[in-house]
Structure 1
Amino acid sequence: MSQLPLRAQLASALGRTAATLSRATGRGDGSVIGGRVGLLLEPDLLRKLAHEKKLALVSATNGKTTTTRLIASALQELGEVATNAFGANMPAGHVSALSSNKAAPYGVLEVDEKYLPEVLSTTEAGVVTLMNLSRDQMDRAAEIWLLAQKWRRALAGKPAHVIANCDDPLVTWGASTAARVTWVAGGQRWHEDSWCCPECGGPLDRAEGIVNADWACRECTFSRPEPNWILDGEDAVDPRGDRWRLNLQLPGTANRSNAVIALATAAAFGLEPQRALPRLREVKSVAGRYTTVERDGRVMKLLLAKNPAGWLEAFDVTRPDRPIVLSVNAQGPDGRDTSWLWDVDYRILTGRHVYVTGERRLDLALRLDVAGVGFTLVDTFGQAVTALPPGDIDVIANYTAFQSIRTEFGRAV
């Protein structure tokens, strides 16, 4: 790799120093402040750091952090990989990630959906991985069809190889202007944001109850492309028709979808499934997600859910015979608007011992009451844990609530 210009070297070094100081003083992991310092000194630092790297950008509403981790793990089979492992998914986080491993020939960057066009233009990444779009942080982000439209415009005329989930109509529409697309049938359980055709506004027809069913518009020619890769139960099916049993440590259907998309992305770098899969199988926790922690005989599985689609997937990996703690905040990173709680079907929790906490626990309590789900309201997560007997417990929290819980257990990863 060619040497960075002197100004960029200085900006990168000072950014790393700021990140180190942030970690040393307990203010955070440094993945944002380091990038901000670097960009302040050299506004074009991201472009310079990305130059000559073989780079993949990963974007979606849900599953970005996990899929980024899976892809980065797979590509380590080829060489060193720079990545934003803890989800700092805007340009400052990207600068920190690339600065921390400037010599790495490969990079895998999780990218906020809204920032994807800017980051693609800046880095000229060769691979773009797109998984799903659903409502999230409505007070901050635009309507999701506008995000898909921005993706379309950003990809048009670019040489990037796009890996896209063809089971999501909005992702398909967003990716369809790309020069080269590998379509993955990764499934889509949450359909509430994709009943209408993004091309003409007409109704989309699809078979109910089938995760990766064909779909098509009644009023125009927009329809599901023929997939190159397919998630079929526990297996990934590659473009040659060969089946690969996933055997992941990460639980749930959503993570099998993430894995087949990761395999397709690895293949775009020339890495075959037989070499990529063992790396994917080693991943058992991602930035605290799916971690099991213990306190006083209580063994807790930590799950992150930020929006209705995410809660649906989180419920999929809980156990109905376990008590469950739900925690919801509404700080800036979560989105201030909690109206999305009314789009989650909480009736699946009926009959379980449910404890409700978090800064917006009253919002969640009202939603559960209307759904007819019994619950116990507590002021803090610690009170919920203390109130439960020793044994296995499921915990679902949205973003800042989840980070607060992680901190109590030393930010386990």
Structure 2
Amino acid sequence: MPDRAGARRDLLTIFQAALARVEGRTCVRDPLQDVAGPVSLIALGKAAQSMALGALEALGERVVDGLVISKPGHLDAPLLGARGLRCVEGGHPVPDARSLQAGDALLEFIRTRPGDRRLLFLISGGTSGLVERLRDGIDLETLQRVNRWLLGSGLPIDAMNRVRKALSQIKGGGLIPLLQGRPARVLLISDVPGDDPGVIGSGLLVAAQQPDTLDDLSLPDWLRALLPIAPAPAATPPDNIRISVVASLVDAREAAAAKARELGYAVTLNRAHLGGDVEVLGRRLGYELRDTWPGLYIWGGEPTIRLPEHPGQGGRNQHLALVVATQISGRRDLCFLAAGTDGGDGPGEDAGALVDGGSVGRGNRALGIDPEVCLARADSGRFLEASGDLIQTGPTGTNVMDLMIGLKW
């Protein structure tokens, strides 16, 4: 059995193995082996560059040109430009003027491709904020107000994207008419529960199978007043668009389990999606780790968090990790990792955190603040920075929600 330092190293190794399995460059190569003829490439989202590079490796000179839209800091413009791909940055997580400019660039690129040119769309999480064309009557300031409210609302991602679709000209299948019947291949990296193509990136190329009502959501009056009176009608899926999900949280969890077994651990793989309030979830996972048999435990999902008016440092994974840290404080046989597979967790450069039974003591000594105070302020990142438990990966080239790994030895 490992000591604490060895256990922490193993959890990071297992997390990296999960990321490698769902990295965009890797997961798009095989599905593109049957693509023939010249292709125009459109890559959108946090994994856009990685997916674009995988497509270039698979298709070579068949990629005639392309447009790649991603977050600031996620694009190597000289590298992609040398292969004929134009790079554009959008705003994320709150859309900004760059997101509207990216939307204009996307529409112009599609309109100006030859009518017989096959289009290849590579879409990953983050697309909803990075690329936008607003419907009439909605301006940028309103869009930003809505998104700031959504990010702190505690709503799950499918509900958030239903609201975003209602404000947009291109979400919810809005790009379909622009194709004018030309063939399109769509590869998706899923960052949503159930891997629904209509939710990933807010379904730019997915026709609604049923009216997308918002009546079941608890929304403030000012937001509900912005929404259309009637939901968008259902539409028949077009036969010119072929859609595949090429990577998901399932793949990441399975890769993590395989690496853990390779390292000699008895593994329990929890396949249910973890959602709901992050505080409740953290206290539950902490209790389960304290009370369970020795072994390695893997979960995945995307819990939600309600933010105070002036939140501090950190995101939902850091918040979750700190809650668990308070539950396992003083234990010498437990550690727990929670991190975003995209390498980001709220504002800042941290992916999440890896905590153990000594985390609360280390943070208390360094800060002189009780962790519950930081949790109440949504300031978990400050405590975990002081305890030395933050994880930084940089952009990972993927985005399949969050991974949680616990170890008892």
TM-score, normalisation: structure 2: 0.35
Higher relative contact order (CA 8 A, sep 6+): 2
TM-score, normalisation: structure 1: 0.34
